[in-house]
Amino acid sequence: MLAEDEKDVRSLIGGHLASLGYTVVEAGNGADALQLVADAPGFFDLLVTDIIMPKMGGQELAGKIREICPTIKSVQISGYNETTQEPSDEVVPQGRRLQKPFTLDTLDATVRQVLDHDQS
């Protein structure tokens, strides 16, 4: 699941991940992403979400999705330098955080690391 409110960024990330063989379902905000996951809870292994979005931010979205899919992993991305969030290299529950801008190679490595990481 890719939740990103900026259409160009969403298209770039979604298209890139699809080119690597991942199945990507895109949503333009947290509320739509939550509904998509609720409609097919066993389908999703990873949430890639912007932290700041309209209707529902990425951290709230990740928490609500974990209520539906407790084992889902996440990559949270942010373009804001001055936030009350932890730094971009900090581990978040079942995932990681990336600071925009990042390279596609960094995205690839982060997604793979998160998916391969054993949470048990």
Domains of the chain plus CATH, in order, are: 2-116 (3.40.50.2300)
> What CA–CA distance (Å, rounded) separates 38 from 119?
22
What is the average per-residue pLDDT within 97-103?
Answer: 91
Alpha carbon separation from 21 to 24, 28, 32, 87, 88 (Å, rounded): 9, 21, 23, 29, 26
d(CA 91, CA 87): 9
Residue 87 DSSP code: P
Q: Residues 48-73: what's their mean pLDDT?
A: 93
Structure confidence at residue 87 as a pLDDT band (50, 70, 90): very low
- High-pLDDT (> 90) share of the chain, %: 76
Residue with the bigger pLDDT between 74 and 86: it is 74
Q: What is the pTM of this model?
A: 0.86
Q: How confident is the model at residue 84 (pLDDT cuts 50, 70, 90)?
A: very low
Contact 46, 88 (CB under 8 A): no
